[in-house]
Amino acid sequence: MAAKKAEQGLVNQWRDILAVHARTLCELDRELHRHGLGASDFEVLDVLADGTPSGGGGAFRVQEISERVHLSQSALSRLIGRLEKDGLVTRGMCEEDRRGVRVCLTPKGRELHGEVLPVQRAVLTRMLAGEPASPCE
């Protein structure tokens, strides 16, 4: 009986984590939409703005980005394509491996990231501090 109760506690904890994630993602999407971005768009911009790619130069291999964001390779490629179309990132061939692609922020992308960063951080603070979430629309 105790094992069953412990197992149910883990299941409940897992469901609570999923619920917090879903509410937070919904709130991020709602707030970032005002800036023409979704939560996944921002995550890619944030990785590009904040991280240090291997090989330096300020450009990340797509594989490096995929290790930091929770998207499939094909979804990430489509997202990068949209960001490139919007002038927020550029893609180029990887010098050390011609099969690879490197992605970097454009000045427009860096500016938008800086503008939206406080919005994203405020949502994370509000949502993860346990305050009530506004409903998703």
Compute the distance between CA of residue 103 and CA of residue 89 in angstroms, rounded to an integer. Answer: 7
Residue pLDDT, tens place only, 25-53: 999 999 999 999 999 999 999 999 987 66
Yes or no: say if 137 and 30 are a contact pair by the CB < 8 Å rule: yes
The tens digit of pLDDT for each residue in 93-106 reads 766 666 678 899 99
Measured CA to CA, the distance from residue 127 to residue 122 in angstroms comes to: 8
- Rounded Cα distance between 56 and 41, Å, is 22
Q: What is the value of pTM for the model shown?
A: 0.83
